[in-house]
Structure 1
């Protein structure tokens, strides 16, 4: 993705109250991924897809920082070339039917969304070499 700028769609997810943390994360990273990846429009338009899994233990550890902690169980991140491309994905009848039906098994509505773009500041393995000085 270096040199290119994609639109990033972040979908903030909460698990349904009756769903265990274990089920939420396992279902999301297995069955739900399979459903999404079977959709031709999603495969054609998504440039990158990432899942951010947040466990109760990680939220508890973050609370030790003394600042408010977001109350989400996960964030789905999808990069596309344009908003029009994302609109094609979410307007695809098969995507709506199949992904939507699967979401009802474990995700609490509404899903919150944010549009953004990434600006890579420290690229991969180069982090140790950037901005360092000899002591």
Structure 2
């Protein structure tokens, strides 16, 4: 599996409440609407909570960066991620998602990277 990880920071002019609500209730369904055209297999949003505990943990590691959450999107293969599906549909999806993200994401302070998962354990199964 190939996974896109998007470490997200909200725009400074968007309140924390509005950011989380928009991301979950507006952007999430928009991403789902493009899943087939993007050949995506799974999409998860993880919203930052318990910031005091996070701050303490970061302090033990001398970390100063904080984020408002992460998005993870899975594909079966790198080919599915990069060129699978109809090119026009993929371009339309990419354009619509970028336009929507610009409403709530601070692009300059966020980051995106691709990973290949290596599951070490999963006691939830």
Bin for the TM-score computed over the shorter chain: 0.7 to 0.9
Q: Is the 8 A contact 1:41 1:88 kept in 2?
A: no
Alignment partner of 2:107: what SS? coil
* RMSD value, Cα: 2.3
Q: How many residues align?
A: 118
* Structure 1 runs not aligned, ≥5 long: 1-5, 127-135
1:95 offset after TM fit, Å? Answer: 0.7
Relative contact order, higher structure (CA 8 A, sep 6+) = 2
* Structure 2 runs not aligned, ≥5 long: none
Question: Could you tell me which residue of structure 1 aligns to residue 4 of structure 2?
Answer: 9
TM-score (norm 2): 0.78
1:9-48 superposed matches below 5 A: 9-39=4-34, 40-42=36-38, 45-48=39-42
Q: Is the 8 A contact 1:8 1:77 kept in 2?
A: yes
- Residue 102 (structure 2) pairs with residue 107 (structure 1): no
TM-score (norm 1): 0.73
Cα separation, partners in 2 of 1:20 and 1:56, compared to 1, 3 Å = farther
